[in-house]
Structure 1
């Protein structure tokens, strides 16, 4: 079940409306895509520390799963901010680093200057119960196809079934369509404890359950919070 920490009638916008808002802000010259990505990543870390204050103190271990688009770019920012805070951070990339969008590529390079990037297949060897945090920065609101890659299906299962780590999704738990709240065509999805989205809730965040989807394979986060990125 997903609880929205907000007023009874929150603002809700579709993924297309969110992209249009971002593009309008960038086109106006008031902000760059890189600045929005930085604000988003830092907003995620802020939300993590608000939800789990104990993680804001001392050294901890995080696994950050990054995808091939700007959601992955947000993940690179999160990894960098946590690393700067003294965390032990492992980052795994799904996709080709040379094909990343420009802003995500910039943050990929910034992270690469301070930490390693491993192929997503290597994440299958991680003991997630030895981690304090797993950050899902794989697909976000841009997903329109079912997640069928065996490596991702196995990874989703391993993360979802782990007992210890706090699982945080950026924008939307990966594998779910942000407008319907369901995996496209019955694909696999990743469980989360907290979802951090930006500017406004998306339609999927209003769902109270996932019809026909077993909790072990997919579930919306227990909580969804909105962070302002200045749009």
Structure 2
């Protein structure tokens, strides 16, 4: 198990040694998330060649490298046949480094993350007859800090909208950990942290993954070559 700083140090050492680049780590992380999700796609009939083919999928991207992982996931899901909608918190034009590269390779439309945009995606899924809406939480990852209510509250409104009978049923996939928690202490960083049906982290678990409030959430640890 690694703390947030220990994880950042491990990545920095690997990059500094020349054994891997930041871009390669981000691509491996995104691919690992997609594989974990494909193996557990909600409502898949087990017959169609791709679980996500024709499915509307919502990807929430933040302003840093966790968001970069999200853009990789968005691109790979689109390549696998999903109809991906990306909503971003913060200005995507302000991204830098590997996250900026991932955003450019995504190449699709990026909308601002707000309550109306989120609900519009859910309503589109309903109009298509989808029972489930996969939501990728790629907002902040292990580096999140309070206050986070401006981003978690609109997503909470989306959950209320879907579970209040409007549908579809949400299936949340958190990259590293759900938004709204401190990765090392488990402390809440907002009034209503996001939930997770599947959490995908990298290299080793983080302290939060062993805490009681996440023991009922499936965790997948992806080897990214550190």
TM more than 0.5: yes
Per-residue deviation at 1:161? 6.8
Deviation larger for 126-135 or 166-175: 126-135
The structure 1 segments of at least 4 consecutive aligned residues displaced by more than 4 Å after TM superposition are none
C-alpha contact (below 8 Å) 1:44/1:78 kept by paired residues: yes
- What residue number does 1:197 align with? 201
Per-residue deviation at 1:160? 6.8
Deviation larger for 84-93 or 44-53: 44-53
Kindly indicate whether structure 1 or structure 2 has the higher relative contact order, using CA contacts under 8 Å at least 6 residues apart. 1
Per-residue deviation at 1:79? 0.3
C-alpha contact (below 8 Å) 2:119/2:161 kept by paired residues: no
Cα distance in 2 for partners of 1:221, 1:98 equals 37
C-alpha contact (below 8 Å) 2:4/2:142 kept by paired residues: yes
Cα distance in 1 for partners of 2:140, 2:160 equals 16
Please list every run of 5 or more consecutive structure 2 residues that lacks an aligned counterpart in the other structure: 127-131, 164-168
- What residue number does 1:183 align with? 188
- What residue number does 2:106 align with? 111
Cα distance in 2 for partners of 1:36, 1:89 equals 22
Alignment of 1:68-87 (within 5 A): 68-87=63-82
- What residue number does 1:65 align with? 60
Alignment of 1:157-168 (within 5 A): 157-159=157-159, 162-163=162-163, 164-168=169-173
Please list every run of 5 or more consecutive structure 1 residues that lacks an aligned counterpart in the other structure: 1-11, 210-218
Per-residue deviation at 1:140? 0.4
Cα distance in 2 for partners of 1:220, 1:120 equals 29
Matching of residue 145 in structure 1 with residue 146 in structure 2: yes
Cα distance in 1 for partners of 2:215, 2:118 equals 22
What do you get for the CA RMSD once the two structures are aligned? Answer: 2.1
Tell me the TM-score normalized by structure 2. 0.84
Cα distance in 2 for partners of 1:94, 1:64 equals 11
